[in-house]
Amino acid sequence: MKKPIQVTRPSLPPFEEYAEEIKKIWENYRLTNFGPLEEELRAALEEFLGVENIVLFTNGHQALEAAIKLIAERREGEGNEIITTPFTFASTTHAIAGSGFRPVFADIDPVTYTLDPQKVEALIGPKTRAIVPVHVYGMLCDTAAFENISRKYNIPVIYDAAHAFGVRTAEGKGAGTAGAASMFSFHATKAFNTVEGGAVAVKDKETAEKLRKFCNFGLGDGGDAEMTGTNAKMTEFAAAMGICNLRHIGEVIKKREQICKTYTELLTEGDNGFDPATGISGKYGIKLLPEQKGTFPNYAYYPVVFSGNIKAEEIAEKLAAENIFVRRYFFPLTSDFSCYKNLPHGETPVADRISANVLALPLYADMEEADVRRVAKALLKIIK
Ligand code: T4K
């Protein structure tokens, strides 16, 4: 049997580099609670992501829940609805529900798989308190349309940018500059990791200060708590990993880009009609991730949507028999989870179709070209 190829593998800095970084912890005995490494990483990330204020968290989920809690307005007895996408990881919907809001699911765009602004606008009512779109797979949402909706109805947009680390718009703006706040995940499986970790980017210092207090039990300098809080601070060990990984992020994204390009070449071979703007390849009836004009992507995931003639589940099983492990990111839709399926919601036919037919292929910076070829070859053999 050939060696297993997992859907992903974390990027790690050279061991000596990390050891050198954490040596400082043995010198100053500072393990957590906003230590110097946390401070260093925070400043470096603000610079790298091109955002004004970043607050670091234990993980992306805590970061998103905190942003929703602090930014979306809860009103007793008046309805607490947040419009969001069901085509996402469990975390997005749990963060909404966990902050005491009711998720209202809207459909996604068939090309980018991100929340469709028109579908969102049709669902806005007096109970709507916020919108939580997701830059799924690092594809940017239609942020201009959401900005207009936000202004028109005076409701905040809080982005789940878990997948969008380092993505820049055609104008060179970081993904984290859109909306009232953006959450990034630095989980081990992400293009950039701090082992576990996450952050919220916001424009104003005041909200950043509140978020920072919130993740330290709501406590201010004098020891008083003006609000309830939690414990979601990033440790110095996680920050050290982030500092090291950030030094290599350019190289990591370049390697991921090369792997994605190789996949695309192999999967669209001989298809003269392949359209990179839609990602549709007629030859084998597959849809790849489209190129977003002018943006600088991060090659976070390599999802393939199948036409439905062959079931994604079946393809995944056949690949597993070859020791190749893909993931159904994202199936089922979060609106179909047992804990949400009884919530009233409208139809989401596009999300239903994409979710049923999508598979994320193995992708990580150090993936060998021979393994990329092995995955593409096995996949083509199944779908041909
Ligand atoms: N919003 C969105 C849209 C998200 O996708 C996520 C997280 C969040 C919010 C929340 O952010 P965090 O709170 O996680 O920071 C993974 C990740 O755990 C999760 O972070 C991620 N999204 C989600 C899409 O994927 P699983 O259950 O698929 O991971 P797991 O453990 O099965 O790992 C996948 C493969 O990666 C394994 O087969 C082997 C490899 N792996 C994994 C880990 C953890 C390693 O080689 N080493 C490792 O340490 O959820």
Segment (H or E) for 100: none
Question: How far, in Å, from the CA of 273 to the mean position of ligand 1?
Answer: 35
Q: Looking at ligand 1, which atom is closest to the CA of residue 61?
A: 13
Q: Is 60 in the pocket of ligand 1 (CB under 6 A)?
A: yes
Q: Is 65 in the pocket of ligand 1 (CB under 6 A)?
A: no
Question: How far, in Å, from the CA of 187 to the mean position of ligand 1?
Answer: 6
Q: Looking at ligand 1, which atom is closest to the CA of residue 60?
A: 15
Question: How far, in Å, from the CA of 239 to the mean position of ligand 1?
Answer: 19
- pLDDT, tens digit, 9 for 90 and up, residues 225-269: 999 999 999 999 999 999 999 999 999 999 999 999 999 999 998
pLDDT at residue number 114: 98
In whole angstroms, give the CA distance from residue 239 to residue 37.
6
Q: Is 194 in the pocket of ligand 1 (CB under 6 A)?
A: no
Q: Angle at CA 123, nearest 5°, toward 118 and 128?
A: 120
pLDDT at residue number 265: 95
pLDDT at 355 over 80: yes
Residue nearest to atom 25 of ligand 1 (CA): 189
Residue nearest to atom 29 of ligand 1 (CA): 189
Q: How many helical (H) and strand (E) elements, i.e. helices and strands, does the chain have?
A: 12, 11
Residue nearest to atom 33 of ligand 1 (CA): 189
Percentage with pLDDT > 70 across the chain: 100
Pairing assessment for the beta strands 303-306 and 286-287 based on DSSP bridges = antiparallel
pLDDT at residue number 384: 83
Question: How far, in Å, from the CA of 190 to the mean position of ligand 1?
Answer: 7
Q: Is 87 in the pocket of ligand 1 (CB under 6 A)?
A: no
For residues 158 and 132, the answer to whether their CB atoms sit within 8 Å is yes
Banded pLDDT at 341 (limits 50, 70, 90) = very high
Burial 189-207 (b: 16+ CB within 10 A, else e): ebbbbbbbbbbbbbeeeeb
Nearest alpha-carbon partner for 355 in 325, 333, 326, 383: 333
Of the ranges 218-227, 229-238, 265-274, 276-285, the best mean pLDDT one = 229-238
Q: Is 328 in the pocket of ligand 1 (CB under 6 A)?
A: no
Banded pLDDT at 47 (limits 50, 70, 90) = very high
Q: Looking at ligand 1, which atom is closest to the CA of residue 6?
A: 38
Q: Is 114 in the pocket of ligand 1 (CB under 6 A)?
A: no
Percentage with pLDDT > 90 across the chain: 89
Question: How far, in Å, from the CA of 136 to the mean position of ligand 1?
Answer: 14
Q: Is 285 in the pocket of ligand 1 (CB under 6 A)?
A: no
Q: Looking at ligand 1, which atom is closest to the CA of residue 185?
A: 15
Residue nearest to atom 11 of ligand 1 (CA): 60
Residue nearest to atom 28 of ligand 1 (CA): 327
pLDDT at 363 over 80: yes
- DSSP states of 321-343: HTTB--B-TT-S-GGGSTTTTTS
Poorest-confidence range of 121-125, 195-199, 221-225? 221-225
Question: How far, in Å, from the CA of 189 to the mean position of ligand 1?
Answer: 5
For residues 8 and 364, the answer to whether their CB atoms sit within 8 Å is yes
